[in-house]
Amino acid sequence: MVGARPRERFEELFDAHRDAVFGYLRRRMDSGDDAADVLADTFLVAWRRLDDVPDGPQTRAWLYGVARRVLANHRRGEGRRHALGEKLRLEFSQHAEPDATLPDDSAAARAFRALPEADRELLSLVAWEELDSAQIGTVLGISRNAVRIRLHRARKRFAKLHAGFSTSEVSYEDA
């Protein structure tokens, strides 16, 4: 990658990872319209910091890490509305309304929702994005060892909550 012209390198990176980053954001945001802004901001960061983007399996993890921080800013109301990608925005709002209109009341869904956000993010980085410990470390900015320890705890908490919800279906009153 070293020596590649910046624009070519960016386009290669963009083509290879745009669907994955879009998927990452769509699974964490209700509005496709807002996801377009966060996606644009994410790739804007990648373009400006092209020299910092790692190669190989860490590229996608690095982009998820940026997307995660941009999304956090967006949720704090610090996001921006872009003139970038109006066609993209139009396509997002036409086709990308959330599918799930009813909450999933299975024990697994309730256990997942009851977890702290940090646990949900860890478990979904494994199960939804299929990242390994090293990649998750890159996304979250922590060591592999810390990832393994936190993941172990998150799975334990999930299993405990799941067991609790599985045995208390009758008393559930929020349906």
Q: Which of residues 33-52 bind other proteins (CB under 8 A)?
A: 33-34, 37, 39-40, 43-44, 47-48
Rounded to an integer, what distance in angstroms lies between the CA atom of residue 68 and that of residue 71? 5
Sign of CA dihedral 124, 129, 133, 138: negative
Round to whole Å and give the CA distance between 163 and 172: 14
Tokens of 147: 């990832």
Binding of other proteins at residue 69 (CB under 8 A)? Answer: no
The CA distance from 33 to 92, in Å, is: 6
20 binds other proteins (CB under 8 A): no
- Identify which range of 15-23, 52-60, 62-70 contacts other proteins by CB under 8 A: 15-23
Residues 97-116 touching other proteins, rule: CB under 8 A, are 98-100, 103-104, 108-109, 112-116
Nearer to other proteins, 1 or 109 (CB): 109
Residues whose CB falls within 8 Å of the CB of residue 33, separated by 6 or more in sequence, listed in order: 89, 92, 93
Question: By C-beta, is 4 or 27 nearer to other proteins?
Answer: 27
Q: Which residues neighbour 26 within 8 Å (Cβ) at sequence distance 6 or greater?
A: 32, 35, 96
Other Cβ atoms within 10 Å of 150 Cβ, number:
17
By CB under 8 A, residue 16 contacts other proteins:
no
CB of 55 to other proteins, least distance (A): 19
State yes or no: residue 149 binds other proteins (CB under 8 A): yes
For residue 99, what is the DSSP state?
S
77 binds other proteins (CB under 8 A): yes
Cβ nearer to other proteins, comparing 128 with 169: 128
Show contacts with other proteins in window 155-174 (CB under 8 A): 155-160, 162-163, 174
